[in-house]
Structure 1
């Protein structure tokens, strides 16, 4: 299965997300790292566009501005690597927490599934939230509202996907 198809299905077909619980974990991790790379490149682009010695407004501190100009060649790669590492940690922590919540929801819904299946489903359910949070600086909405909306959107997509998980057998 191609990553582009996974991306499109994550955006348009939330019911298919339950079927993707059976994908190999390597494919899911690849998809996760592609999302992380997109977010990192986007954030790094915003960083480089926003980092200008002219915007620092340090006319009286010429030594500092010259120093910053001199170390930019080190600053950019280090910043990109740090952005990638922190984005990776943050995204994997979010997936783990949403998957834990999904496990609780799955038990309430009396459906069968394991944490590893819900983790995979959660990865795809978070696609919209990741895109919205990435573009949040360009929206005229408070970041708290966007975070809450992303949370509800992810949980809603996760619940829709969990409805397609098999039901637990009835015990007598």
Structure 2
């Protein structure tokens, strides 16, 4: 299965997310790193657009501005590496926490599933939240509203996907 198809299905077809719980973990991790790379490149672009020596307009900092101009070629790769590492930690932690919440929701819905299945489903369910967080600075809405909307959207997508998980057997 192609990553582009996984991306499109994550955005448009929430019921297919339940089927993706059976994908190999390698494919799911690849998709996660694709999202991380997209976020990191977008963040680096925003950093590069905002990084200007003109922001230092104090006369006493002319040596500093010259130094920044000299090492700018080194600053961008280091910044991208740091952005990638921090984004990786944040997204994996976000997936783990949503999956933990999803485990409780799955039990409340009386559906069968293991944490590893929920983790895979959650990876695809956070696609909308990731895109919203990237575009948050360009939307005329506060970051708190974006965070709550992302939380609600991800949990909603998980619930829709959980309806396609198998039901727990009735034990009498």
Q: Which TM class, normalised by the smaller chain length?
A: over 0.9
TM-score (norm 2): 0.98
Q: Say if 2:156 is the partner of 1:160.
A: no
Alignment RMSD, CA only?
0.7
Question: Does 1:2 find its partner at 2:2?
Answer: yes
Task: Give the match's secondary structure for 2:157.
Answer: helix
Report the Cα offset of residue 56 of structure 1.
2.7
Please tell me whether residue 115 in structure 1 is matched to residue 127 in structure 2: no
Q: SS of the residue aligned with 1:61?
A: helix
**Residue of structure 2 in register with 1:39 after alignment:** 39
Task: Give aligned pairs, total.
Answer: 172
Report the counterpart of residue 57 of structure 1 in structure 2.
57
Aligned twin of 2:99: 99
Unaligned runs of at least 5 residues, structure 1:
none
The alpha-carbon deviation at position 58 of structure 1 amounts to 2.7
Q: Distance in 2 between matches of 1:164 and 1:17?
A: 9
Q: Provide runs of 4+ in structure 1 moved above 3 Å.
A: none
Distance 2:152 2:47 in 1: 29
Q: Which moved more, 1:112-121 or 1:72-81?
A: 72-81
> What are the ranges of 5 or more consecutive residues in structure 2 without an aligned counterpart?
none
